[in-house]
Structure formats: C-alpha cells, structure tokens
Amino acid sequence: MKICENCNTKTEDGAAFCPHCGSDKLNLVTTSPQVETKSEKTNNSALAGLILGIASCIFGLLLIPNILAIVYSRRGLKSSGENGGKGLATAGFVLGIITTSYWGLMWAIALLIAVI
Ligand SMILES: [Zn+2]
C-alpha cells in the first residue's frame, strides 16, 4: 500500500500517481496498523497462558490458575500464526493440563479419604 505525501490518500502498491490529487509523491507503507494490533493481542493471550501455567505449578491447589491457563493458551493457540506466540501458548496449555490433572487427582484422593 502507498500513501500520498500531498493529501494522505491511500492507493495500491502499483499506482504511480495519486488518484485523488494526481501527485507522484507516493510513500510505500510496509506494515498496516491492523496487523500490528492483531499480533500484539495474540502474544498477550499466549503470554498470559504461559504465566498462568507457571503460576498453576505453585497455586495449582486452587484449580483456578490452571483452568485460566488452559483458557488463555487455547485462545493464544487459535489466533497465533506467524507471530511466534505458538510456543508460549503450547507451553502454557501443557502446564495447565498437567497441573489440572495432578491437582484434580489430589482433590479426588482428599475427598475419598474424607468420605471413608
Ligand atoms: Zn494525493
């Protein structure tokens, strides 16, 4: 995409002149602001998933950070593409699953002991 230096009208890559004012001073724009916002969101979800995954190793007894880790990591995995958030999201997701099943089992055993 190109932006006219004269009137700020957006034109296609191939255009030689501005369709609005006819100026030939067109500046090439490499990144669109939409893509930047999207990648930032993806990384935030993936990063939140990983942090929650690590937190659930310590506070996993409560089962809350584990479940949140799975939720955020899944969100990060869904929207991650070429942005590099996939590794973070995967790590958070695996940690969430492991700590949830571990502490879930611990709670089940504790409940069984309490009942018996
Ligand atoms: Zn123009």
Ligand 1 mean position, distance from CA 33 (Å) = 20
Ligand 1 mean position, distance from CA 11 (Å) = 9
Ligand 1 mean position, distance from CA 49 (Å) = 45
Closest CA to 72 of 41, 105, 102, 116: 41
Question: pLDDT band at residue 58, thresholds of 50, 70 and 90?
Answer: confident
Ligand 1 mean position, distance from CA 32 (Å) = 19
pLDDT digit string, tens, across residues 2-55: 999 999 999 888 888 999 999 999 988 875 555 555 555 557 888 898 999 999
Q: Report phi then psi at 30, rounded to 5.
A: -85, -45
Q: Report phi then psi at 82, rounded to 5.
A: -90, 10
Q: What pTM, to 2 d.p., does this model score?
A: 0.58
* DSSP of 35-83: HHHHHHHHHHHHHHHHHHHHHHHHHGGGSHHHHHHHHHHHHHHHH-SSS
